[in-house]
Amino acid sequence: MEIIFLIPEYFLWHYTAALRSTLNIATNFLWFTYHFFSMPILWQTLFAPWQVSRAKERIYATKPNRGFEIVKEASLQIFGAVIRMFTLVFGVTMCVGVGLAGVVMLVIWFCLPLIVAALIFGGLRFLFL
């Protein structure tokens, strides 16, 4: 007998908690894209040298920088900035795409019961009309 409660329970959930969950899933993907492209870190380290290795650091720490090393480091910084900037721009574009996909997902979810009804109605029309 409890199964009859399923329909009102479902519709109550579909248009309340589920909408919130859909929004939650969309924000999760947005959050993931933001972090996948390491956007906060790349922004903070935009002009940091490119992948300084531990061994190099030790040399820098013990020997004074020569002209060559300064030029090398500057070029590494420029190279790093270009790569990071490119990644950031790509990341922002992806974030916008994911955001739009989230809106589409929300609209589809909202209309889903109507889509099901339309499919059933269409099927009946094919059979009987």
Partner 1 sequence: MTFSDIRKKEGRISGLTALERILPRRIRATAKKIIFLVLPFVLMLLYFFEEQALIPIEALYAFVLFGTAAWLVIFMLDSFYYAHYFEGAHVAIHEWGIKRHEQTIPFEILEIVAHTHAADLTEGFVKSKAGADILQRLNVSYAVALAFLHGTREKVYADPVFFDHPLTLSVYTKTVFDIDKDFSAFLASHEIARDDLIGTASWVSALYERRKEMFRWWGRDSLGRIKAVGKEWARSETAFLERYGTFVKPQEGDILFKKEIDELEWTLAREAATPTMLVADRLHKLMGVLSGLSSRIEDGLALPQIAHKEILVLDINAIDEAATDTGQFELLMTELFTQALESGQIIVAFNNFPAFLIASKKHGLDSLQFIEPYLNSPDLSIVAFALDTLYEKYIASEPKLLKHFARIFVECEDAVILLRVLEHKVFDIERQSHLLFTYQAIKAIAERASVDSNVNLQENQATVLLSTLLPRLIARDIRVVTAEHVAELLD
Binding site for partner 1 (CB under 8 A): 1-10, 13-14, 17-18, 20-21, 23-25, 27-29, 31-32, 35-38, 41-42, 44-45, 48-54, 57-58, 60-61, 80, 83-84, 87, 112-113, 115-116, 119-120, 122-124, 126-127
- CB of residue 69 vs partner 1: minimum separation in angstroms? 14
Closest distance to partner 1 from the beta carbon of 70 (Å): 15
Task: Please answer whether residues 106 and 16 qualify as being in contact, where contact means their C-beta atoms are separated by less than 8 angstroms.
Answer: no
Instruction: Convert 60-118 into a string of H (helix), E (strand) and C (coil).
Output: HHHCCCCHHHHHHHHHHHHHHHHHHHHHHHHHHHHHHHHHHHHHHHHHHHHHHHHHHHH
CB of 124 to partner 1, least distance (A): 7
The distance of closest approach from Cβ of residue 52 to partner 1 in the complex, given in angstroms and rounded to an integer, is 5
- CB-CB contact of 94 with 37 (8 Å): yes
Run of H or E including 51: none
